[in-house]
């Protein structure tokens, strides 16, 4: 299987979120960046597992981003076990732009499986996988929590739906977005980290693409008013407040 | 000019998310100064049920009831939607940001070269030909206002972001030929396993959730009883799902499901930032924790400091008494 895993750079899970320039720019001051968790833990690890199980094929990671992303996300992906990497040298404007860049690369490479994570933890879009699938005219399995090869050309997967789990079968090539259940997180070891340094990173110029959306401004959520504490001996008071004051029951 | 919505249904029954997008679309139509809200229904739903979408502001339903739509293939549903957009000249498309919506909306955006805002939480602000749409970003730690720059606009609306109030009116139902044939289907659905009879978590308006403070799976009976008394769905924190006290589909948070219920009751959950990421957009948060310093109290509207094992049974009794009085 020739596999492509889309990896994104996101602020660390615990990063404090603030904005500058009149709330139009995300303030990266003091923010640590990491590889997006679902891309790393589930999509990438499952691709590597499939390569290990079949003993053939390759895992390429792709990131649309500036040079600094090589040290922040690409090196780690290579250390975990990807074979090589592609970086599209651009600062992404919107999801449509990112998907167009990934699709432009994939078009020439005939990947069997293209993985994304379920969503990034910064823009929470859950959109890139579907967009890439459409541009390449491939089937798309979203929010998958398992993926198994049945044979060299067919795979089965389970995906989450409202109130249930759906089991599907699909022929390669296809696009899949991975979430919890798909694989277990792997910590890179020393050998992986050393090996990563010698693995190839191809840098490609971006394809021309005008974004379809732009962020006008950001807002921080209003602070919740201070918690109202209720006497543990009288939980019926909570029910009264939820009914009369909050009007939720 | 019209606004188009996509009908979510299961076993022929139209889902609440459809009513929500219909009412939202009705408001968007008013902003665009058009009266037309068109719904596309793919698969087997009775005309009678579709007509009733008029109760939620839909004027016309296009129905292609081929059985091949009943099993979900995002590519197929996207193609049919695109053909409906072409035939109706819709300039705004509203889709629920649920599991199927997350697969269709992005595909459709690329097919139509239309800007998508996924996970919108409010009505857009329409100013001439520009739409500005608010969505939650940074895992609930902020909001971003997106402007859609293309002539056709797609909004994928987060479940529970717009109130559902049933009105009057009947929609006209027209048979629609989306041009899909069996050869378009690339994904074979082998089996659908229903998880429970209760409300699916992402759609639930009331959620009772518990964490490691419950000590073990044997203690979830009281959580379920409370949820049942309230008519709520149940959820849990990540470590609880990781050690298999509860199934994975109940895990909420940054790496689990993101929800937006009207009421979120968190019991024996510390309120770590990654947990909050999945629930901090809930309208009202109640926290029950024996540790008065638990970070969750900072995000809560109401709190009870105390031992869950003592409080829950009393709370459940109180809910039952309240229900008996108010029903
Ligand atoms: C990258 C990353 C992603 C993550 N994603 C998620 C996620 O999606 N969802 C998630 O939930 N977590 C996630 N986590 C884990 C998160 O950081 C916390 O570890 C987790 O939420 C803690 O779960 P808990 O509150 O149930 O358990 P604990 O932290 O063990 O807290 C238990 C709480 O129960 C209280 N308690 C104990 N006994 C009682 C009692 N008898 N009565 C009342 N209260 C009691 C305690 O005071 C305590 O506050 C993630 C972590 C990382 C690093």
Summarised one tens digit per residue, pLDDT across range A182-191 is: 999 999 999 9
d(CA A223, CA B195) in angstroms, rounded, equals 36
Q: Is A123 on the interface with B (CB under 8 A)?
A: yes
A-chain residues within 8 Å CB-CB of B315? 235, 238-239
**pLDDT value at B200 more than 90:** no
Strand partners, A142: none
- Residue B79 near residue B42 (C-beta atoms within 8 A): no
Note the pTM of the prediction, 2 decimals.
Answer: 0.95
| C-alpha–C-alpha distance, residues B19 and B6, integer Å | 10
A159, A162, A214 ranked by CB distance to B200: nearest:
A162
Across B18-52, b (16+ Cβ under 10 Å) vs e yields bbbbbbbbbbbbeebebebbbbbbbbebeeebbbb
Judging contacts by C-beta atoms under 8 Å, the chain B residues touching residue A101 are none
DSSP symbol at B56: G
Q: What is the ipTM for the molecules in this complex?
A: 0.96
* Residue B198 confidence (pLDDT) above 80: no
- Encoding tokens for residue A43? 């999509």
pLDDT value for B1: 87
Among the atoms of ligand 1, which is closest to the Cα of residue B269?
25
User: Residue A9 in contact with residue A72, Cβ under 8 Å?
Assistant: yes
Q: What is the mean pLDDT of residues A205-210?
A: 97
Sign of CA dihedral B215, B219, B225, B227: positive
User: What residues contact B298, with CB distance under 8 A and at least 6 apart?
Assistant: A224, A227, B271
Question: What is the arithmetic mean of pLDDT over B205-230?
Answer: 97
Give me the residue from A99, A228, A248 closest to B283, CB to CB. A248
Mean pLDDT, rounded, for B224-229: 96
| A169 vs B: CB within 8 A | yes
**Does residue B194 carry a pLDDT above 90?**
no
- Cβ–Cβ of A227/B115 closer than 8 Å? no
**Chain A contact set for B119 (CB, 8 A):** 124-126
Q: Does A227 touch chain B (CB under 8 A)?
A: yes
Chain A partners of B318 at a C-beta cutoff of 8 Å? 235-236, 238-239
Mean pLDDT across chain B: 96
Mean pLDDT of A233-248: 96
**How far is Cα A53 from Cα B3, in angstroms, rounded to an integer?**
48
Q: Do A232 and B287 touch (CB under 8 A)?
A: no
Instruction: Report whether B261 contacts B160 (CB < 8 A).
Output: yes
**Do A242 and B144 lie within an 8 Å CB cutoff?**
no
Helical (H) or strand (E) element with A87: strand A84-88
Question: Is the CB of B40 within 6 Å of ligand 1?
Answer: no
Decide: B216 in ligand 1 pocket, CB within 6 A. Answer: no
The per-residue pLDDT of chain A, averaged, comes to: 96
Residue of A nearest to B143 (CA): A219
Nearest to B118 among A126, A166, A229 (CB): A126
Of B202, B203, B218, B198, the C-alpha closest to B256 is B202
Q: How far, in Å, CA of B307 to CA of A202, rounded?
A: 57
Instruction: Flag whether pLDDT at A245 surpasses 90.
Output: yes
Q: What is the three-class DSSP state of A31?
A: coil
B255 touches ligand 1 (CB under 6 Å): yes
| Whether residue B206 has pLDDT greater than 90 | yes
Judging contacts by C-beta atoms under 8 Å, the chain B residues touching residue A236 are 318, 321-322
Residue A210 CB neighbour total at 10 angstroms: 12
Half-sphere exposure of B301 (CA within 13 A, CB side): 20
The verdict on the CB of residue B303 being under 6 Å from ligand 1 is no
User: What is the rounded CA–CA span in Å between residue B290 and residue A161?
Assistant: 35
Atom of ligand 1 nearest to the CA of B239: 23
Question: Are the CB atoms for B58 and B131 separated by under 8 Å?
Answer: no
With an 8 Å Cβ cutoff, are A238 and B318 in contact?
yes
- Whether residue B318 and residue A246 make contact (CB cut-off 8 A), yes or no, is no
Strands (E), B1-89: 2-6, 9-10, 13-14, 37-42, 60-64
Any atom of ligand 1 within 6 Å of the Cβ of B37: no
Q: Point out which residues pair with A227 in neighbouring strands.
A: none
- Phi, psi for residue B97 in degrees, rounded to 5: -85, 60
Residue B199: which pLDDT band, with cuts at 50, 70 and 90?
confident
Q: Which pLDDT band holds residue A163 (cuts at 50, 70, 90)?
A: confident
pLDDT digits (tens, 9 = 90+) for A87-113: 999 999 999 999 999 999 999 999 999
A124 lines ligand 1 (CB under 6 A): no
Three-state SS at B111: helix
| Whether pLDDT at B128 is above 90 | no
Please state whether the peptide bond connecting residue A173 to the residue before it is cis, i.e. omega within 30 degrees of 0.
Answer: yes
Q: Which of A134, A235, A241 sits opposite B110 (nearest CB)?
A: A134
**Backbone φ, ψ for residue B17 (5° rounding):** -60, -30
8 A C-beta contact, residue B28 and residue B2: no
* Residue A15: both structure tokens together: 């990063």
Mean local confidence (pLDDT), A112-134? 97
pLDDT category of residue B197 using cuts at 50, 70 and 90: low
Q: Give the 3-state secondary structure of residue B104.
A: helix
What's chain A's Rg over C-alpha atoms? Answer: 21
Spatial separation of the C-alpha atoms in residues A203 and A189, rounded to whole Å: 26
What are the backbone dihedrals phi and psi of residue A93, each rounded to the nearest 5 degrees, phi first? -90, -55
Residue A238 pLDDT greater than 80, yes or no: yes
* A9, A127, A165: best to mutate for the B interface, most B CBs within 10 A: A127
Sign for the pseudo-dihedral over CA of B63, B66, B72, B76: negative
Q: What distance in Å separates the CA atoms of residue A88 and residue A85, rounded to the nearest whole number?
A: 10
Q: How many CB atoms lie within 10 A of CB B200?
A: 24
Report chain B's C-alpha Rg in angstroms: 21
Any atom of ligand 1 within 6 Å of the Cβ of A210: no
B contacts of A170 (beta carbons < 8 Å): 186-188
Average pLDDT over residues A122-142: 97
- Contact B291 CB / ligand 1 (< 6 Å): yes
Q: Per-residue pLDDT averaged across A53-61, rounded? A: 96
- Residues of chain A with C-beta less than 8 angstroms from the C-beta of B202: 162
CB contact under 8 A, A249 and B287: no
Nearest CB to A134: which of B78, B254, B300? Answer: B78
């Amino acid at each position: 299987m020739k596999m492509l895993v889309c990896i994104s750079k996101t602020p660390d899970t615990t990063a404090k979120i603030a904005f500058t320039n009149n709330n139009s720019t995300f303030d990266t001051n003091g923010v640590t960046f990491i590889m997006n968790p679902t891309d790393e833990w589930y999509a990438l690890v499952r691709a590597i597992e499939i390569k290990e199980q079949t003993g053939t094929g390759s895992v390429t990671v792709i990131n649309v981003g500036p040079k600094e992303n090589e040290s922040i996300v690409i090196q780690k992906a290579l250390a975990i076990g990807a074979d090589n990497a592609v970086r599209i040298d651009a600062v992404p404007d919107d999801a449509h732009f990112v998907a167009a860049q990934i699709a432009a690369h994939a078009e020439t490479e005939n990947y069997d499986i293209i993985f994304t994570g379920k969503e990034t933890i910064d823009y929470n879009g859950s959109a890139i996988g579907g967009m890439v699938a459409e541009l390449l005219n491939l089937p798309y399995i979203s929010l998958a929590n398992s993926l198994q090869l049945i044979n060299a050309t067919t795979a089965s997967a389970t995906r989450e739906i409202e109130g249930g789990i759906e089991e599907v079968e699909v022929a390669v090539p296809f696009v899949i977005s991975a979430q919890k259940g798909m694989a277990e997180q792997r910590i890179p070891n020393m050998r992986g980290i050393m090996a990563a340094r010698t693995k190839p990173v191809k840098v490609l110029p971006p394809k021309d693409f005008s974004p379809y959306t732009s962020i006008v401004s950001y807002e921080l959520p209003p602070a919740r008013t201070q918690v109202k504490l209720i006497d543990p001996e009288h939980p019926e008071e909570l029910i009264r407040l939820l009914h009369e004051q909050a009007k939720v029951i | 000019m019209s606004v188009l919505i996509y009908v979510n249904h299961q076993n022929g029954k139209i889902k609440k998310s459809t009513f929500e997008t219909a009412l939202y679309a009705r408001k968007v139509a008013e902003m665009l100064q058009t009266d037309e809200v068109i719904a596309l229904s793919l698969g087997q739903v009775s005309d009678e049920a579709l007509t009733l979408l008029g109760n939620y502001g839909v004027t016309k339903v296009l129905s292609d009831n081929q059985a091949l739509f009943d099993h979900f293939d995002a590519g197929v549903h996207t193609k049919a939607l695109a053909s409906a957009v072409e035939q109706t000249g819709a300039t705004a498309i509203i889709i629920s940001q649920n599991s199927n919506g997350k697969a269709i909306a992005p595909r459709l955006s690329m097919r139509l070269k239309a800007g998508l805002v996924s996970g919108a939480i409010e009505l857009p602000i329409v100013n001439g030909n520009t739409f500005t749409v608010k969505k939650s970003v940074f895992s609930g730690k902020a909001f971003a206002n997106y402007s859609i720059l293309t002539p056709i606009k797609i909004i994928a609306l987060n479940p529970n972001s717009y109130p559902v109030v049933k009105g009057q009116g009947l929609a006209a139902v027209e048979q629609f030929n989306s041009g899909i044939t069996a050869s378009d289907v690339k994904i074979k659905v082998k089996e659908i396993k229903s998880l429970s009879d209760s409300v699916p978590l992402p759609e639930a308006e009331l959620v009772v959730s518990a964490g490691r403070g419950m000590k073990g799976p044997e203690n979830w009976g009281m959580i379920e009883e409370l949820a049942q008394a309230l008519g709520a769905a149940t959820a849990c924190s990540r470590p609880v799902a990781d050690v298999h006290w509860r199934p994975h589909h109940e895990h909420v948070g940054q790496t689990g499901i993101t929800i937006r219920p009207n009421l979120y009751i968190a019991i024996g959950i510390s309120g770590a930032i990654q947990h909050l990421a999945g629930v901090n957009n809930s309208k009202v948060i109640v926290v029950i924790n024996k540790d008065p310093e638990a970070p969750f109290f900072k995000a809560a509207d109401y709190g009870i400091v105390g031992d869950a094992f003592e409080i829950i049974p009393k709370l459940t009794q109180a809910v039952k008494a309240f229900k008996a009085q108010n029903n």
